[in-house]
Amino acid sequence: MSEVSIIVPVLNEEAAVQAALSRLCRDFPDCELIVVDGGSTDTTAELAARHATVVHSARGRAKQMNEGARHAGGDVLWFVHADTAVDPAALGQIRACLADPAVVGGGLTIRFDRRTPGLNHLAWTSNARARRLHHIFGDQAMFIRRGVFDELGGFPDLAIMEDLEMSRRLHRRGTLCLLPATSTASSRRFTAHGTWRMVAFMQYLKLLYFAGVDPERIRALYAAGPHLRRRGRTARDVPAERS
């Protein structure tokens, strides 16, 4: 049976980290749990230490996930965001699909913590993209065989889109599975900016990436958000931290 290490990158997540880690400890008690703090200025690291091994890293999700992998002992690395709730059935499905040696990794079926036509459409298209194009993003709780992860040198050190690039590299090495178990992602950014506006904005950012635009420039655009006012709010009012 595969030994699984769960790696959670965090940055200023004190409002969510305890509940997230409590769920992971409850639902996956036989998994190693590692939290990688990217320099939080709140109590995230202290709260996380009550539930998991905490390691520290330079800020940046790719750097943090690679540092977590460096400390992990499992032969499967499972990357879970702090604002994502994972279906307890996921672990058994991960182990079952990795029984096939051709499988190098995969992700979960995404849904959102709110049900609206826009978010339902986004979840459907994201899952269709994962099945057909093999593009798996971080909020789908990506899992990777340790040996393949090491052969690829970990996540590429990109300011953004490291998960997209990793899934593309993994697909060139073997089969990626989209599991029926769900990953329930936070809709907070979509709700704050407007779902359809954010969907269009994220597609624009992906096009920039495929066109070869500097990922640091794309990250800055992502952090700023769509430059349109909504209900008196601006991008400055919306959480833009990205660990």
Tens digits of residue pLDDT in 33-67: 999 999 999 999 999 999 999 999 999 999 999 99
Q: How much is the pLDDT for 20? A: 97
pLDDT at residue 191, as a whole number? 87
What pLDDT score was predicted for residue 72?
98
Q: Quote the CA–CA distance of 233 and 128 in Å, as a whole number.
A: 32
Q: Give the residues of the chain that fall short of pLDDT 70.
A: 227-243
Please indicate, yes or no, whether residues 152 and 223 belong to a single structural domain of this protein.
no
Instruction: Based on the fold, state whether residues 171 and 111 are members of the same structural domain.
Output: yes
What local confidence, expressed as pLDDT, does residue 240 receive? 41
Q: Is residue 75 part of a domain?
A: yes
> Residue 23 domain-assigned?
yes
E-only strand ranges, 119-243: 143-145, 175-185
pTM of the model: 0.91
Measured CA to CA, the distance from residue 240 to residue 230 in angstroms comes to 16
Q: Provide the residue range defining the domain that includes 78.
A: 4-188
pLDDT in tens, 73-84: 999 999 999 999
- For residue 225, which of 237, 211, 212 has the smallest C-alpha distance? 237
Question: Is 80 in contact with 53 (CB distance < 8 Å)?
Answer: no
pLDDT of residue 160: 96
* Burial (Cβ within 10 Å: 0-12, 13-18, ≥19) of residue 93: middle
Here the tokens at position 43 are 């109590």
Q: What does the pLDDT read at residue 227?
A: 67
